[in-house]
Amino acid sequence: MAIDITMPALSPTMESGTLAKWLVKVGDSVRPGDVIAEIETDKATMEVEAVDEGVVAEILVAEGSEDVKVNAVIARLQGEGDETALAPKPVATPAAAAVAAQTAAPVAASAPTAPAPVAAAPAKPLTPQGPLARNIASPLARRVAQLLGVDLGAVTGTGPNGRIVKADVEAAAGKPPVAAMAPVAAAPAAAAPAPALAPVALPPTDVPFEAVKLSNMRKTIARRLTESKQQVPHFYLTVDVRLDALLKLRGELNKALEGRGVKLSVNDMLVKALGQALLQVPDANVSFSGDSLRKFSRADISVAVAIPGGLITPVIRDAANKSLSKIATEMKDLAARAKEGKLQPPEYTGGTASISNLGMYGIKQFDAVINPPEGLILAVGAGEKRPYVVDDALAIATVMSATGSFDHRAIDGAVGAEFMSAFKALVENPLGMLA
């Protein structure tokens, strides 16, 4: 029988994607693990692997088609025993892709299927073992398994034909879904969802302009940050932090690390300080989750990185307990691959708090928007020479302003203030981060 290939969910926030390129054609044989297409998600362009074996019988969605909904059928394989002749069939044009994407999933879900012979019906879901587990696990399930450290060979699949899905992996891990896999915000069940992108009526103008179509990434940024400001009650706290001791320590460490080819940035040190501050004030290392709070025992720091067309937040795992050289090495690699669009979802999801640094642009101070479901984001400005009281005397010091944006549903003002005080103390006495 024919096997449907559907648009996969390649990131937790993905609702639709662009089918950038087909790497197979009608008549090609594919096996599990073969790369068959390139999909542009809201974060990057990613390769899609086949999960079944067969011969490509139909390609239903053309290259360049945009807004193809997740789970819409994009191609079909001729399975074993299917003797349907392979023949080129009409392929949906990019212009018709939106209509096809919106209708394909409901039709596929509602269309009756021919009853299978009773003898062929399995009595229970298949339990994949060894290499077979990878073959019948969804791409998202494999990535979540990698993130949670779950052996797919021990997971029972509850999806179609025993396929392992994300929920199976999370159940096997014995824990609720990781924070980054949760919806953007927990809204009351009765509340109507906000429109993804509300149309804006613009007044006529004689000024020449060019209408630039939004990329999937820009659409996602617009939707998620609008939801954040509408649904998350932000409050802001700012502290001035003296950097002289940190800059001196950074210079000494960089000299010592020259032989290893490692160079620390100020931001690398601030990432570690943020991680340690979260462990010192655990009530700030939380996420609002409807009728409960998730209190994290580890500080995974999302670091805002500007890339062409948008923003992405690679995550430094367990930042508080990593050496500064390790943080610098990881951050350099993550930032480079982020700009090339080569990050995998586990590398930019699942943070417990974020940091955004605009100091390199000369920005003194700004208020950042929280990245749900995280509970806070730290906005860092430029270090500059300012009059500052040092040892009860007025002096000139290198000072930066840092502003924390907090989710008031999860973090109270006093907790936020305690966190900002801990961060300031760590930066002003940086040797404590190395102890």
Please, which residues have CB within 8 angstroms of residue 124's CB and are 6 or more apart in sequence?
none
Give the least confident one: 114-128, 163-177, 252-266.
Answer: 114-128
- Report the pLDDT averaged over residues 84-103: 48
> Do the beta carbons of residue 150 and residue 128 sit within 8 Å?
no
Token reading at 99:
């209509």
- Which pLDDT band holds residue 229 (cuts at 50, 70, 90)? very high
State yes or no: pLDDT of 95 exceeds 90. Answer: no
Please give the residue that has the higher pLDDT: either 93 or 413: 413
Q: Give dist(CA 415, CA 44) in Å, integer.
A: 36
For position 86, what pLDDT does the model report? Answer: 53
**Domains of the chain with CATH codes:** 1-114 (2.40.50.100), 116-175 (4.10.320.10), 217-434 (3.30.559.10)
- Torsion angle of alpha carbons 262, 263, 267, 268, nearest 10°? 20
Token reading at 169:
């992996």
**Chain segment 130-175, per-residue pLDDT in tens:** 444 444 677 677 777 777 778 887 888 777 667 787 778 878 877 5
For position 200, what pLDDT does the model report? Answer: 63
- Report the pLDDT averaged over residues 78-90: 56
State yes or no: pLDDT of 301 exceeds 90. Answer: yes
Active-site choice (408, 421, 425, 428): 408
State yes or no: pLDDT of 203 exceeds 80. Answer: no
- Which pLDDT band holds residue 207 (cuts at 50, 70, 90)? confident
> Do the beta carbons of residue 251 and residue 399 sit within 8 Å?
no
Query: Which one, of 302, 298, 297, 284, lies nearest residue 346 by Cα?
Result: 302
For position 127, what pLDDT does the model report? Answer: 44
For position 426, what pLDDT does the model report? Answer: 97
Query: Which one, of 68, 89, 87, lies nearest residue 5 by Cα?
Result: 68
> Do the beta carbons of residue 207 and residue 31 sit within 8 Å?
no
For position 284, what pLDDT does the model report? Answer: 98
Q: What share of the chain is helix, strand, coil (3-state, %, to 5)?
A: 35, 25, 40
Buried b (16+ CB within 10 A) or exposed e, 2-19: ebbbbbbbbbbbbbbbbb
> Distances in Å between the alpha carbon of 340 and those of 5, 288, 335, 345?
27, 33, 9, 14
- The span from the first CA to the last CA of the chain, in angstroms, equals 63
For position 247, what pLDDT does the model report? Answer: 97
Strands 2-6 and 29-30: unpaired
- Which pLDDT band holds residue 231 (cuts at 50, 70, 90)? very high
> Do the beta carbons of residue 410 and residue 288 sit within 8 Å?
yes
Helices (H), 187-289: 216-231, 244-257, 266-280
- Report the pLDDT averaged over residues 319-323: 96
Return the beta strands (E) in 262-343 as ranges: 286-289, 292-295, 301-303, 305-307, 310-312, 315-316
- Report the pLDDT averaged over residues 192-217: 70
Please give the residue that has the higher pLDDT: either 322 or 176: 322
Query: Which one, of 108, 19, 32, lies nearest residue 72 by Cα?
Result: 108
Q: Give dist(CA 429, CA 80) in Å, integer.
A: 67
For position 143, what pLDDT does the model report? Answer: 72
Please give the residue that has the higher pLDDT: either 393 or 215: 393
Q: Is residue 408 among the annotated active site residues?
A: yes
- Whole-number mean pLDDT of the chain? 81
For position 344, what pLDDT does the model report? Answer: 87
For tokens 């409807």, name the residue: 290
In single-letter form, the type of residue at position 22 comes to: W
Q: Report pTM.
A: 0.63
Q: If you ran DSSP here, which 8-state letter would residue 235 be given?
A: E
Return the beta strands (E) in 144-233 as ranges: none
State the greatest distance between any 2 C-alpha atoms of the chain, in Å, as a whole number.
Answer: 88
Token reading at 258:
């020259």
For position 179, what pLDDT does the model report? Answer: 40
Q: Give dist(CA 297, CA 291) in Å, integer.
A: 20
